[in-house]
Amino acid sequence: MALKVKIGTHGILIAAIVLIISVLLLIDRLLATGPVQLILEDGRAVPIEGASYFSLNDVLFFIITAWLGGMSFLYIVLFSKEMPELKRDTTAIPENKSTVELAATLLDGDEKVLFQKIAGDNMILQRELVLKTGFSEPKVSRLLDRLERRGLIIRQRDGMGNRILIK
């Protein structure tokens, strides 16, 4: 029978705290200075740092804290997708705006510029977007990927290129 641990609704927060504490403990222990000896030479004290080795307790401490940090990081990565997305407040948006104008107001940066170029023509070839925006081909492709993932556009194959449509 598998052991199930139920952390509850604050699991990601707890895992993040454990990860931060374990990283800080590891850094503190690894950066701790070793023993220093003072030798008198010509009437002045000269510090000489002795060779320091990790004891068995130090090694066990490193293993345990690294394991805890690793498990916390793994938990955050695997279960962070379950967190609810933040919803934008849409009450301040006037209702007389069209869907395209609404989508353009929610976008920012290069995505907004690209979306406005697409909305202006309603149907445009991807290579025309490169010319109109001045962005590189890979950048236009990445931006179109993001817009497509958000459900704002549709790409249709058109010969060797793509035709972009507003969804």
For residue 149, the domain's CATH number is 1.10.10.10
Domain match, 34 and 75 both: yes
End position of a domain, from candidates 53, 82, 111:
82
Residue 93 belongs to some domain of the structure: no
Model pLDDT for residues 46-104, shown as the tens digit of each residue: 877 776 777 888 889 999 999 999 999 988 888 876 545 545 554 444 444 577 777 77
Per-residue model confidence as pLDDT tens digits over 4-40: 555 566 888 888 899 899 999 988 888 877 777 778 8
Q: Are residues 78 and 122 in the same domain?
A: no
Alpha-carbon Rg for the chain, nearest whole angstrom, is 29
Residues 133 and 159: their CA atoms lie apart, in Å, by 22
The sheet carrying 161-166 orders its strands as 123-125, 161-166, 153-158
